[in-house]
Structure 1
Amino acid sequence: MPRDESFSFTQLLPDQTATYKSLLSDFKTGDKYMEELLEREIILELKSKFFDLISNERLSFSPSEILLHMTAILKELLKADEVDFYSCQEWKQGMLLEATTRLSTNDGVISTFPECLVSELAEKPYSFIKYPEAMPQHELLLVLKVNEKLKGLFGFQMSSDTLNQLSDRFFNKLSHECNVFIEKVRSLAETMEEEKRYKQLFRVTKKFHSTMDMDAVLGEIISTLREVYPSFTYYLLLSHDHKGYGGLPVKDLEYDSDNLTAMQSYVSGQIQFEDSATEKNSIMYAPLKGKQGVYGVLQVIAPNSLVFPQNEVEFIKLLANTAGSALENAKLYEQSRKLIADLQLINETSHQLNTSLRLADTMKFICGQIIKSFNAQEVGFIMLDEDHDDYSVLQGSTSFFFSKDASRYILRIAKRIKQDMEPLFIGDITSDSEDSSLHFHSIMGVPMIQSGELKGFALVMHEEPYHFAFDTFKLLQSLIHHSTLAFTNSMLREELERMVVTDHLTKLYSRGYLDDKMNLSMLEDQQGAFILIDVDNFKSVNDQYGHQVGDEVLIQLARHIAKNIRGTDIGARWGGEELAIYLPGAPLETGVMIANRLVDKVEKHTN
């Protein structure tokens, strides 16, 4: 047939289901022109169908799906019984079945190639092999290489007649076209995947800059990686305090960690890689850095890889840099909010201290503020005497500090504060103590110093070790520093008030204070009892033993009065050797009972 008669493959083979076997039987093997023409038309039809594959919008354009269609096309055009495609797996040092026309992979097909055959194919410049001895399941192998590097194989099961009627030139061309097409497909797939990833990065960047929540930023990092690289494993190695972040894969980045590569990435701010032959993986460490510093490291583990995939490095690097900037913004925003909250706390506390509240009410307010702001469990204010040998707990402290167990903590902290005159920040008090039975582990102790003199200290505790952050400790110091003068002034004011209404000798109330309280009680209470006490022969005691002994008699009597009345009752010095007690709301019978009990105790227990 002349070349100018527009011979077409469709004219030769109008019925696509007809076999090449019957067509080839019409020609003699020696008719080179017809063989070349037929082979050329097969190649053209192959390229046409390959083009249709790429342009088919119904396909998802995944390499695996394209390879599956390729095997079907090759099976149809070469009239093979079965076609298998094996891809080169660098880690496994072999070939793995990736696509086949078989209904089941158990139909006598191998899933992997032996390493010896793979090595032979990689070393020798084969583009095809007929009747491979090492692989008798296939009559033909098409070898696919890129830059002399083995990428894959097509294995054909087909009749010897069809195989022998096609020339070596045809198989070389067929191998070349399949190789070119697969590389184009993979290149397009990588381009589309890269486009998808960068669209994802753009979307994530918008989310990063639309939130100031660190948990949301970290969660979005992991969510993006899981979506783009579902087979990888990820960890966030963070350098700052965290509380778990809602189950995210977050780890502490510790300076004494055995993971030197992660620490090197954190310190240098550069990407680091670690390949493990024993673990069969490759690990990338990408620093999460902003303009002011590095806030952690993103650890990405690629399984079954000798070297971390280079085409993924740039995307992960951009994601880490974007995330680092977002983390920095969120951290700065969080710090600014905390700073504002700290200033509000100090301002509100200072304002409260400058009001005319009683000391107990002020202490209760401050303890409540510390518990709320620092998430503390126990807060106590301990005042020391002039010699620092004894202490007292201010009213308003939490109830624990008025128990016997509190003395174990108070005495231990008081000893260290008196010795160094410095604040104490203890992450776990049991770590430097032989007493492991202590219930509270995290302790902050801040001395209350006024005019260079130690007045006492504040004690803040929690049962969990390392519960308080160092920023919290600095804030507590500032708070106590602002409060100490107000505490001292408040105590002095209340002491002065007590002195005004208190008899200097007996330490009981003055008669004026007693009169005021009795008048108020007669307006508000239904009843009350008044007891007047006189010391018999008091003048003779003064004359015989002196006024100093007489004063001691009154002091002894006043002490018994104070011990035998309630906190709401009023003991006072009526005048001279006369003392008085007023019991608001009490009936006369109660007054008589207390008076008789007092006479009895004075007779038995005074000198």
Structure 2
Amino acid sequence: MISSRKHGSLYKLTESFHSAMDKDQVLAELINALQSMYGAFLFYLFLSHDNDSRLKLPTKDLYFDEQGSADTAMEAFLTGAIRMDRSQPDKVHVYVPLKGRQGVYGVLEVIADKNHPIKESEIEFIMMLANAAGNAMENAQLYQQSRKLIDDLRLINETSHQLNKNLPLKDTMKFLAERVIHSFNAREAGFYYRNSSGTDQLLPGSTGFFITPEADSYLSFVLSKIENEREGIFIGNLPAQGFSNGIYQCLMAVPMMENGQLRGYAIALHEKPYHFTFETFKLLQSLIHHSTLALSNSMLREELEALVKTDNLTKLYSRNYLNERIRHSMNEDRHGVFILIDIDNFKNINDTYGHQIGDDVLIQVGNIIKSSIREKDVGARWGGEELAIYLPQADPEIGICVAHRVLERVRSTTSPRVTISCGVSAWEAEEDDTPKMLFLRADRALYQAKSNGKNQVIVQNRIAK
């Protein structure tokens, strides 16, 4: 018979359990209450091996292959009924399942010795307390699962919304990489996209590991599996799978599929085995699935933009793009330099070697220009055999140096050997200037360079020695 005092304690504890909404907190309150009420007994919690309690609780693991005392605990867990073990002459072990409406979430072990035998009324009360804790654990678990589901849906929704903003690819991929690293606690995250030529291109936002030689073995491993199976890869312990080529032991990889075609893949790595869970893997699959179409559209848009602003032969920028950049620079910067370049005697190259060799010479000069300027500078094809360079935020002396550098490299490295003539013009914010006037001054300087014997640099109306 349970006393009214214990009924009151049970009511208060049940209320406390259900207000916790945290499984660990429920278990901690259960153990503290039992130890306070039954100081002569020992209490342990049998929990599944994947329990990740943050609190210091007297726990033991439940294993299906465990020998000894855990057999009776496992029986209580599987049947949901109390079990007792009296095999030891001086002790009795009582195993009480922590049971909710939908399942059993653990087993409470009570150990009593012969000096303090456990009574039936005490077992009955402990069972009622364990049932209250089991129901509270179930509610807490359902609450945590619902919160996680909401967080997962929010992650997918926010990511899809961001990807559909038509942002530059660099910003889009930086956002996606940050999401993967933060949400999955990944150590490394890499994104690859298969371009129209069939080459796997590392996308911006990927962590630095993927540009190192150490990443090659992981990529080969992932790519061979994805290309053969067209499915995601989830490996909790890479060395156990025969892969021991690096420090990372846990891997997730998800293909980017579009209309049945492999468009790319995403990889997440961690050095700790079994760091990622299967739920994490399923979320990554969902995230990449929802992102693939937006990412493909973003890549296609960038490719189209590149075609519009790039000369197909030299891969330098187009004249229209150069004009836009100069107009923007004149509105935002304080000064800049424009270099107009003409390949000397280009008609003779075409007449002597043919137009294919002439195209090759244009490509050679274009490559020299690209390798001679900064990332923020603009190398462009002006038209025919005329090329151009724009140097934002540069003064005339810098422009002269760049022009001479290109002239010397063209003269010494092209095959068949050609030379160029350069006209250089500059603008200052304090002067009333326009792109058209800037071009006109460079054109006049180029004409003077050609008239003076070619293979030289002229700065506006004066020769640069």
TM-score relative to the length of structure 1: 0.64
1:338 to 148, 157, 163: 148
2:239 to 417, 424, 430: 430
Are 2:106 and 1:296 equivalent residues in the alignment?
yes
Amino acid at match of 1:487: L
Amino acid at match of 1:283: H
Across the aligned residues of Structure 1 and Structure 2, the Cα RMSD in angstroms comes to 2.3
Contact 1:197 1:228 survives alignment (8 Å) = no
Are 2:252 and 1:441 equivalent residues in the alignment?
no
Contact 1:281 1:305 survives alignment (8 Å) = no
For residues 582 and 285 of structure 1, do their structure 2 counterparts lie closer, same or farther at Cα, with a shift above 3 Å needed?
same
Q: Which runs of 5+ in 2 are unaligned?
A: 416-465
Task: Find the aligned partners of 2:225 and 2:115 in 1 and give their Cα distance.
Answer: 57
Task: Find the aligned partners of 1:432 and 1:516 in 2 and give their Cα distance.
Answer: 55
Q: Which runs of 5+ in 1 are unaligned?
A: 1-190
1:488-511 CA distance string (max 9 Å, x none): 000000110111111111111101
Q: Aligned ranges for residues 463-474 of structure 1 at < 5 Å?
A: 463-474=271-282
Are 2:18 and 1:247 equivalent residues in the alignment?
no
Q: Aligned ranges for residues 113-262 of structure 1 at < 5 Å?
A: 194-239=3-48, 241-258=50-67, 259-262=70-73
Deviation at 1:231, TM superposition (A): 2.9
Deviation at 1:332, TM superposition (A): 0.7
Task: Find the aligned partners of 2:339 and 2:66 in 1 and give their Cα distance.
Answer: 76
Are 2:112 and 1:325 equivalent residues in the alignment?
no
Task: Find the aligned partners of 1:241 and 1:397 in 2 and give their Cα distance.
Answer: 31
1:414 to 208, 223, 242: 223
Amino acid at match of 1:297: V
Deviation at 1:314, TM superposition (A): 1.5
Q: Give 3-state SS (helix, strand or coil) of 2:45's partner.
A: strand
Q: Aligned ranges for residues 343-382 of structure 1 at < 5 Å?
A: 343-382=153-192
Amino acid at match of 2:135: S
Deviation at 1:306, TM superposition (A): 11
1:26-68 CA distance string (max 9 Å, x none): xxxxxxxxxxxxxxxxxxxxxxxxxxxxxxxxxxxxxxxxxxx
Deviation at 1:386, TM superposition (A): 5.6
Match of 2:122 in 1: 312
Amino acid at match of 2:56: G
For residues 385 and 302 of structure 1, do their structure 2 counterparts lie closer, same or farther at Cα, with a shift above 3 Å needed?
farther
1:546 to 330, 334, 354: 354
Deviation at 1:440, TM superposition (A): 2.3
1:524 to 327, 332, 349: 332
Which of the pair has the greater relative contact order for Cα pairs under 8 Å at 6+ separation?
Answer: 2
1:456 to 264, 282, 303: 264
For residues 365 and 300 of structure 1, do their structure 2 counterparts lie closer, same or farther at Cα, with a shift above 3 Å needed?
same
Match of 1:510 in 2: 318
Amino acid at match of 2:165: T
Deviation at 1:329, TM superposition (A): 0.6
Deviation at 1:226, TM superposition (A): 0.9
For residues 348 and 529 of structure 1, do their structure 2 counterparts lie closer, same or farther at Cα, with a shift above 3 Å needed?
same
Match of 2:80 in 1: 269
1:349-407 CA distance string (max 9 Å, x none): 1111111211111111122222232222322212235676x532111223333333333
Give the number of aligned pairs: 413
For residues 264 and 199 of structure 1, do their structure 2 counterparts lie closer, same or farther at Cα, with a shift above 3 Å needed?
same
For residues 213 and 226 of structure 1, do their structure 2 counterparts lie closer, same or farther at Cα, with a shift above 3 Å needed?
same
For residues 316 and 463 of structure 1, do their structure 2 counterparts lie closer, same or farther at Cα, with a shift above 3 Å needed?
same
Q: Aligned ranges for residues 487-506 of structure 1 at < 5 Å?
A: 487-506=295-314
1:114-156 CA distance string (max 9 Å, x none): xxxxxxxxxxxxxxxxxxxxxxxxxxxxxxxxxxxxxxxxxxx
Match of 1:284 in 2: 94
For residues 203 and 403 of structure 1, do their structure 2 counterparts lie closer, same or farther at Cα, with a shift above 3 Å needed?
same
Q: Give 3-state SS (helix, strand or coil) of 1:209's partner.
A: helix
Task: Find the aligned partners of 2:373 and 2:345 in 1 and give their Cα distance.
Answer: 25
Q: Aligned ranges for residues 71-150 of structure 1 at < 5 Å?
A: none
Task: Find the aligned partners of 1:241 and 1:385 in 2 and give their Cα distance.
Answer: 42
Contact 2:40 2:116 survives alignment (8 Å) = no
Deviation at 1:513, TM superposition (A): 0.8
For residues 336 and 230 of structure 1, do their structure 2 counterparts lie closer, same or farther at Cα, with a shift above 3 Å needed?
same
Task: Find the aligned partners of 2:172 and 2:61 in 1 and give their Cα distance.
Answer: 40
Task: Find the aligned partners of 2:349 and 2:305 in 1 and give their Cα distance.
Answer: 33
Amino acid at match of 1:459: I
Match of 2:461 in 1: none
For residues 289 and 493 of structure 1, do their structure 2 counterparts lie closer, same or farther at Cα, with a shift above 3 Å needed?
same
Contact 1:275 1:307 survives alignment (8 Å) = no
Task: Find the aligned partners of 1:263 and 1:453 in 2 and give their Cα distance.
Answer: 48
For residues 360 and 220 of structure 1, do their structure 2 counterparts lie closer, same or farther at Cα, with a shift above 3 Å needed?
same
Task: Find the aligned partners of 2:315 and 2:234 in 1 and give their Cα distance.
Answer: 41
Contact 1:284 1:308 survives alignment (8 Å) = no
Contact 1:236 1:249 survives alignment (8 Å) = yes
Q: Which segment is superposed worse, 595-604 or 457-466?
A: 595-604
Q: Which segment is superposed worse, 237-246 or 529-538?
A: 237-246
Contact 1:430 1:438 survives alignment (8 Å) = no
Deviation at 1:196, TM superposition (A): 4.2
Task: Find the aligned partners of 2:379 and 2:268 in 1 and give their Cα distance.
Answer: 37
Deviation at 1:276, TM superposition (A): 4.3
Deviation at 1:434, TM superposition (A): 5.0
Task: Find the aligned partners of 1:277 and 1:502 in 2 and give their Cα distance.
Answer: 85
Task: Find the aligned partners of 2:56 and 2:178 in 1 and give their Cα distance.
Answer: 31
Task: Find the aligned partners of 2:169 and 2:61 in 1 and give their Cα distance.
Answer: 44
Match of 1:567 in 2: 375
Q: Name which one, 1 or 2, has greater alpha-carbon Rg.
A: 1
For residues 240 and 374 of structure 1, do their structure 2 counterparts lie closer, same or farther at Cα, with a shift above 3 Å needed?
farther
